[in-house]
Amino acid sequence: MRVPLIAGNWKMHKTQQEAARFVAGLVPLIAEVAGVEVALCPPFTALGATVEALRGSAVAVGAQDCFWEETGAYTGQVAPHMLKDAGCKYVIIGHSELRGRFGKEPADWTSQVRALFGETDATVNRKALAALAAGLAPIICLGETLQERDRGETDDVVREQARRALAGMTAEQVAGLVIAYEPVWAIGTGRTCDPDEANRVLGLIRTAARAAFADAAATLRIQYGGSVKPDNAAELMRQPEIDGALVGGASLEPVDFSAIVAAAGARGGDRR
């Protein structure tokens, strides 16, 4: 049974006080929603305030990134065990805003940001393995650029990203993690992947996981991310392969985010 996960990625938004105010506004709005798991992923500086504000609620906390080493001279980096100690359950890994695509020179602004931070499929894998070792559940992001989609490369790109991201994992580890399909061209642009097409790509990811990890693929949760909003959430959540959403801009306001949570709750945890 796969329970949908709605995770809010606040990116570089919200101070400690703003995080506490958001939680105070959100928790009553989703108190009656069943059949869905909710997580908030604030910036590092607001993790403690968010954990404290959520104490006693069922909402989980996730971080937006991590490093793969436990300790060392890595200025500015945060180790998975530190996030676990801070109260995190999840960590986002490989978000498209951090990713580079196999070292290729970027062709658009969004890709330039990803290349600037230098994330690759290899570092995504190292971070995911380190997160699992620390007891965190990774939310591993995959997705193609507009140029790759226009060239008809979506399937090959996503399959290869999944293969590289999950390399070296056990079936038990794969069964407990989360993959977020985020078409790069839909993130922060207002464009959303057609629900049927999103469902098809998620099914492709699950098929690839099944070929490598057998029955573990049945419990692997695969989210959609990319301009998810209250007005398109219900249609996305009705798709059988979509196990929730990784929400960006719409996660910054309690009313908008709670509407997406409600849409997932209406579908409920009946995916197998």
The answer to whether 13 is a known catalytic residue is no
Q: Which residue has the tokens 């994330």?
A: 119
Looking at 37, 95, 119, 144, which residue is catalytic?
Answer: 95
Structure tokens at 60: 């989980």
Whether the CB-CB separation of 153 and 184 falls below 8 Å is answered with: no
Whether the CB-CB separation of 230 and 250 falls below 8 Å is answered with: yes
Looking at 37, 97, 148, 182, which residue is catalytic?
Answer: 182
The answer to whether 52 is a known catalytic residue is no
Active site residues: 95, 182
